[in-house]
Structure 1
Amino acid sequence: GGAGGIIGAEIAARSQPDGYTLLVSSTGVQVITPQIFKKLNYDPVGDFAPLSLFAVTQNIMVVNPSLPLNSVKELVSYAKANPGKLNMANAGAGFQSHLAGVLFTHLAGIDVRHVPYKGGASLIAVMGNESQFTIAPGPSVMGHIRSGRLRALAVGGDKRSPLTPELPTIIEAGVPGYLSTGWAGLMAPKGIAQPVFDKLYTTLVKVMQDPATREQIERQGGDPVSSTPAEFARFIKDEYARFGEAIRLANLKVE
């Protein structure tokens, strides 16, 4: 859906709960947008029945390779010794990369300047050392890491990614409680009949066991995952609280 997924979510919320219209949900649609825009025509909790997560994308912390910073610990020490000196790029105020950065600097107890750019320009800024570091989705930075234009320090998940097993998590690297990943999951419109919901769920579980499906998700930079409807609902609740805190810390104006 356009407008940050809002349109797709509104259409899915208003569709017949017959199992033919599902929503591919994500952090933006389900967690961030509803806490920034108050006038939405969908309720992220009340209008949907969560089926399952199916992919998680690691966010990766990257720095400009000319800096003598080879770990999260070194970056935190440097930032503490030089308050306000480092620029942390993000893809725009209220975007996930902005809120992931705000949470990181809060939990690490460091003072840096959060600099908003338009989308991918944030990576160009770090490669040009106009900003020194950022947290960005794995698929968008892997090519730059391989080419040596960016140096990867850690991933934002609660465990290492099979795609980058050499990178520690930010938690492992010394910032307890930090978590920031991209994710995708399937939701049905609320009011769907239980037998239809159950059939969709068992079909999804089968699809997620298919090696070709898993390979397709990995090719796009994701880790294939699955969860029960209850686990997915709990996960969304945790994400909502985590990003709610980041939105408050960032002093974002609710529209």
Structure 2
Amino acid sequence: MKKLLLKVAALSLGLCACAISQAEDWPKQPLKIVVNFAAGGAADQLARVVGAPLQQALGQPVVIDNKGGAGGNLGGELVAKSAPDGYTLLMSSGGMVSINPHIYARMPFDPAKDLVPVAAVARVPFYLVVRSDNPAKSFKDLIADLKANPGKRAFGSPGNGSSPHLAAEMMTGQTGTSAVHVPYKGAAPALTDLLGGQIDFLFDPGIAIQYVKTGKLRMLAVASLRRSPLVPDVPTLDELGLKGFDADAVFGLYAPAGTPPTVIKRINAEVNRALESPAVRSRIEILGNVPEPLTPAAFGEKGVADFKRFGAVIKERGIRAD
């Protein structure tokens, strides 16, 4: 028995040493960042913003691969079932971890167990926007219109149960109004239909700001507790009477469970270093987002807190995935 225990101990030490060696040699090949939403949306753009400095820091190509669908579950599952070697990462909204387990009767993977938080990239406020030809000149006008036309107006979102969807449900719930939800496969196609007149309003993750500046859209409010530094004159919903309204999401990188801690630490350090760069910060802020450097532990704690917060809203509104 003593000899057996010594052999097991030796084997464990050997495996540990092998893992440490592999982590020290990392990276030896290109990295892939899977984006679990459609191209052009917030997750996609943030992946590209941090992908470039990450590629430069690591000395290996960083490839962006869009795998949207099922509220982010398709891309999430792909990464969760990938080899935990640090070469496949996921760029996702925090909603896949904090929202999806509440709305899907069956998840193809467990985000809390099969993925580990690596690095937060940005806090994404959601902006309430309408077309410039919409009669609603203010948030008060929009609510008055919704009350006068219950169930006759429509809003879009990047998918059923997505953070922008929850923001709209929170707003209609607190104002006693109703509107038809039209889910899309990403923020970009939802924005396209808003511009085209197929839907009436949208909680946008920042990609609509360019159209606000050109006068095609009108911004009525920010769904955060703090005003956005990019549009400091736009009030928050909290200021407009919906006290405590906070629909912010944190977007960031995740890795398959079992990825060496040293690799996670290295990626986190490089991403946080990139977020200190004025050029990177500027690109993120232009998207309407706020750079959010966090440790892996703090990023994970944010996901747990949001899981509880959004879970209460989902239960109250009876939201379920299609």
| TM-score bracket relative to the smaller structure | 0.7 to 0.9
String of CA shifts for 1:175-222, please: whole Å, max 9, x gaps. Answer: 112122354212233233433333332222222212232233334443
Instruction: Check if 1:113 corresponds to 2:179.
Output: yes
Counterpart in 2 of 1:230? Answer: 297
The aligned amino acid for 2:301 is R
Equivalent residue runs for 1:1-255 within 5 Å: 1=36, 2-4=67-69, 5-66=72-133, 69-76=136-143, 79=146, 82=148, 84=150, 87-91=153-157, 93-107=160-174, 109-116=175-182, 118=184, 123=191, 132-139=200-207, 141-254=208-321
Q: Considering only CA atoms, is the larger Rg found in Structure 1 or Structure 2? A: 2
Cα offset for 1:3?
4.1
CA distance in 2, matches of 1:65, 1:104: 21
Evaluate the alpha carbon distance shift between residue 198 and residue 137 of structure 1 in structure 2; reply closer, same or farther with a 3 A threshold: closer
Equivalent pairs counted in the alignment come to 252
Evaluate the alpha carbon distance shift between residue 47 and residue 126 of structure 1 in structure 2; reply closer, same or farther with a 3 A threshold: closer
CA distance in 2, matches of 1:24, 1:192: 16
TM-score by length of structure 2 reads 0.66
Cα offset for 1:45?
0.8
Residue 111 of structure 2 aligns to a residue whose secondary structure is coil
CA distance in 2, matches of 1:144, 1:103: 25
Q: Which runs of 5+ in 2 are unaligned?
A: 1-35, 37-66
- Matched-pair contact (CA < 8 Å) for 1:98–1:114: no
Counterpart in 1 of 2:11? Answer: none
CA distance in 1, matches of 2:308, 2:236: 21
Residue 143 of structure 1 aligns to a residue whose secondary structure is helix
Cα offset for 1:101?
0.7
Cα offset for 1:60?
0.9
CA distance in 2, matches of 1:121, 1:23: 21
CA distance in 1, matches of 2:276, 2:228: 19
CA distance in 2, matches of 1:143, 1:212: 19
Residue 120 of structure 2 aligns to a residue whose secondary structure is strand
CA distance in 2, matches of 1:63, 1:6: 29
CA distance in 2, matches of 1:55, 1:8: 19
Which stretch of the first structure deviates more once superposed, 114-123 or 94-103?
114-123
TM-score by length of structure 1 reads 0.80
Evaluate the alpha carbon distance shift between residue 59 and residue 52 of structure 1 in structure 2; reply closer, same or farther with a 3 A threshold: same
Evaluate the alpha carbon distance shift between residue 8 and residue 62 of structure 1 in structure 2; reply closer, same or farther with a 3 A threshold: closer
Residue 22 of structure 1 aligns to a residue whose secondary structure is strand
CA RMSD across the alignment: 3.1
Counterpart in 1 of 2:39? Answer: none
- Matched-pair contact (CA < 8 Å) for 2:119–2:295: yes
- Matched-pair contact (CA < 8 Å) for 1:208–1:214: yes
CA distance in 1, matches of 2:214, 2:195: 11
Identity in percent:
31
- Matched-pair contact (CA < 8 Å) for 1:71–1:173: no
- Matched-pair contact (CA < 8 Å) for 1:58–1:155: yes
Which stretch of the first structure deviates more once superposed, 206-215 or 63-72?
63-72
CA distance in 2, matches of 1:87, 1:121: 18
String of CA shifts for 1:115-171, please: whole Å, max 9, x gaps. Answer: 4265667556656777543322221x2233223332211112221222212112211
Residue 45 of structure 1 aligns to a residue whose secondary structure is helix
Evaluate the alpha carbon distance shift between residue 213 and residue 134 of structure 1 in structure 2; reply closer, same or farther with a 3 A threshold: closer
Q: Which runs of 5+ in 1 are unaligned?
A: none
Evaluate the alpha carbon distance shift between residue 249 and residue 126 of structure 1 in structure 2; reply closer, same or farther with a 3 A threshold: farther
CA distance in 1, matches of 2:183, 2:257: 37
CA distance in 1, matches of 2:93, 2:260: 24
